[in-house]
């Protein structure tokens, strides 16, 4: 594999190595076992990598990021092209020092990040960022140290954006969140999902689901779920001869006594009282109809 390597061991910049990844005629293999972070931007070609006993294909354009001490092997086929960077743990910490996003960046890039859905513009910008870093180190221009430090920070921030925050930006709109939530309630009402489970189904966090539903309806997701359960319970109690235990079972309650407590807590009366009231109303209506001439 033809490559340019940057050795900064004698420089004041935290330890960093940047290489051009270019495999024209033969495949190239990388084995990661040291205490450095490793990032790969693949713009063309193909390959595979092995991590924690799993083998995955690599299709460009993509970002591969491996934390310090990760034991991984990468193999890029002939014709592969891109850039790679290795940063020591000390260098990683120093470059981010003073950044208000330092903790978030560090947390996001501590596990492996495999972002295989980059567009060509994103991949080109990441590769250009590393190319500028390499160029500054090789030519020793005035202010090179500061430029290299900032360039590395920009690359790490870009990798952070691609690893997590971008997902939040692509989350559904509020009206879509509410619609998906209400649909999920209808489908899974008898499964007694937690709000966190509903949030996962919708594709948002529990906090965002709560905030969005409250803004749209003035009520919490949990109160909406409970209201739907009570509405279903009332229908079964009013329009069927099912026993209370059978109603509870149909609604997903494994303990009829718990269903009765839940119903009373939500309505202020036990389910058998609801049924008696309905029976009494129906009897009065029948009696009044019989008195008609």
| pLDDT bracket for residue 38 (50, 70, 90) | very high
Residue 1 lies in a domain: no
Name beta bridge partners: 85: 18, 39
Residue 7 lies in a domain: no
Residue 3 lies in a domain: no
> Which tens digits make up the pLDDT trace of 60-99?
889 999 988 888 999 888 888 899 999 888 888 888 777 7
Q: Compute the residue count for the chain.
A: 293
Backbone angles phi, psi at 291, to 5 degrees: -80, -10
- What is the CA angle 23-24-25, rounded to 5? 105
Name the domain boundary from 169, 196, 229: 169
| 165 and 23 co-located in one domain | yes
| 147 and 279 co-located in one domain | no
| 38 and 89 co-located in one domain | yes
Residue 159 lies in a domain: yes
Name the domain boundary from 135, 169, 203: 169
Residue 4 lies in a domain: no
Residue 293 lies in a domain: no
Question: 72: helix, coil or strand?
Answer: strand
Please tell me the distance from the alpha carbon of residue 85 to that of residue 19, in angstroms, as a whole number.
6
Q: What is the CATH number of the domain that holds 115?
A: 2.60.120
Residue 149 lies in a domain: yes
Say what the pLDDT of residue 25 is: 63
Please tell me the distance from the alpha carbon of residue 153 to that of residue 156, in angstroms, as a whole number.
5
Place of tokens 């994103």: 122
- Chain-centre distance for alpha carbon 225: 24
| 278 and 152 co-located in one domain | no
Q: What's the rounded mean pLDDT across residues 14-27?
A: 75
Q: Which domain holds residue 255?
A: 174-288
Return all residues near 136 (Cβ < 8 A) that are at least 6 apart: 144, 147, 148, 151
| 145 and 219 co-located in one domain | no
Name beta bridge partners: 62: 42
> Which tens digits make up the pLDDT trace of 175-228?
899 999 999 999 999 999 999 999 888 888 889 999 999 999 999 999 999 999
| 160 and 130 co-located in one domain | yes
| 144-163 vs 89-96: helix crossing angle, rounded to 10 | 90
Say what the pLDDT of residue 277 is: 64
> Which tens digits make up the pLDDT trace of 122-175?
888 899 989 988 888 888 788 888 888 888 888 998 888 887 643 344 457 888
Say what the pLDDT of residue 200 is: 86
Name the domain boundary from 103, 136, 169: 169
């Amino acid at each position: 594999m033809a490559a340019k390597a940057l050795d900064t061991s004698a420089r004041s910049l935290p330890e960093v190595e940047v290489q051009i990844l270019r495999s024209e005629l033969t495949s190239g293999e990388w084995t990661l076992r040291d205490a450095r972070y490793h990032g790969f931007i693949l713009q063309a070609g193909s390959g595979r990598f092995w991590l924690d006993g799993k083998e995955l294909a690599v299709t460009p354009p993509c970002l591969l990021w491996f934390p310090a001490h990760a034991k991984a092997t990468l193999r890029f086929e002939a014709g592969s092209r891109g850039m790679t960077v290795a940063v020591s743990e000390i260098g990683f910490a120093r470059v981010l020092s003073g950044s208000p996003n330092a903790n978030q960046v560090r947390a996001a890039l501590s596990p492996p990040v495999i972002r295989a859905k980059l567009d060509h513009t994103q991949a080109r910008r990441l590769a250009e960022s590393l190319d500028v870093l390499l160029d500054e180190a090789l030519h020793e221009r005035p202010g090179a140290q500061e430029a290299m430090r900032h360039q590395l920070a920009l690359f790490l921030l870009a990798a952070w954006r691609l690893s997590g925050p971008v997902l939040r930006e692509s989350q559904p709109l509020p009206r879509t969140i509410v619609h998906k939530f209400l649909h999920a309630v209808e489908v899974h009402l008898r499964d007694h999902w937690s709000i966190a489970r509903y949030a996962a189904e919708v594709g948002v966090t529990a906090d965002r689901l709560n905030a969005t539903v409250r803004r749209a309806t003035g009520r919490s997701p949990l109160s909406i779920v409970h209201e739907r359960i009570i509405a279903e319970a009332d229908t079964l109690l009013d329009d069927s001869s099912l026993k209370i235990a059978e109603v509870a079972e149909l609604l997903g309650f494994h303990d009829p006594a718990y269903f009765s407590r839940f119903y009373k807590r939500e309505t202020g009366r036990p389910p058998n009282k609801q049924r008696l009231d309905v029976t009494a109303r129906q009897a009065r209506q029948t009696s009044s109809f019989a008195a008609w001439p």
